[in-house]
Amino acid sequence: MLLTIDIGNTAVTLGVFRDTPATKPDPNDLSPAQRLVTTLRIATDSRRLADEYAILLRNLLEFRGIAPADITAACICSVVPPLTGLFEDVCRNFFGVPPLLVNSQIDLGMPVRYDNPRDVGPDRIVDAVAAVKLYGAPVVVVDLGTATVFDAVSRDGEYLGGAIAPGINLSADALYDNTSLLRRVELVAPPAAVGRNTTAALQSGLVLGYAGLVTTMVQRFKAEIGTDAKVVGTGGLVTVIADHAPVFDDINQELTLVGLDLIYRMNGAE
């Protein structure tokens, strides 16, 4: 089985896929969704040691009925440099497999038109690869996580770039940390955009405000890459916004894991 590991700023997301030939993706293969056995999420913590993460991963996998010996391959993308090598060590030393690390030097399955491809977060490329495979091109990916990230793929299947804004929780924390009277609130939409109390006013700005951000940015992206572009939402906070930003063609929380599976196979990794 292939263990896919997406190391994000807030959470580490893992997926386990059934064995497939390590060759370029074949349209006749089972779909990624059919091959995805299970997913797991753990908190990102740079203070943990490799042994701690290994024990945590082993226990979680065994809880899902997967023995460490069942893992025969691994693929990693990371935006947290201190944890990248640590998880490589976990894969080698505790699962006995050398992981494929996603970076600009391997076959990513699409041309990257960023000014400097090395500057693109690997998770952004991985999401784009999965989105094109599942939804076709052109496509816009909206990832609502620690940051709110928009990525665009052209009609020709080229990764063009995108936009980055602070995530909803980051903005909420900034308000809480830098004001004396504002407090943390539940991230749900208020009854109306005009808040009649401080809690509702904060919820309006955070939830409806970000819904407006997403809606406007998607419109701008579509104007540049094609009005027929599909829009795919992902990330831990996408469900907070989706009902109030009617721009998504689909919500796919496994997008990064699917992309890691595809890229692993593209590179013929053993």
Nearest Cα to 216, choosing from 237, 201, 203, 231? 231
Q: Which of 26, 115, 123, 173 is catalytic?
A: 123
Q: Which two tokens stand for residue 266?
A: 């593209």
For residues 160 and 247, the answer to whether their CB atoms sit within 8 Å is no
DSSP one-letter code for 246: T
Burial (CB < 10 A; 0-12, 13-18, 19+), residue 186, is exposed
Residue 104 main-chain phi, psi, to 5 deg: -75, -5
- The CA–CA distances, whole Å, from 237 to 52, 113, 160, 162, 233 equal 27, 28, 24, 19, 10
Q: Which amino acid is at 78?
A: S
Q: Is 123 a catalytic residue?
A: yes
The beta-strand segments (E) located in 93-146 are 100-101, 139-144
Task: State the catalytic residues.
Answer: 123
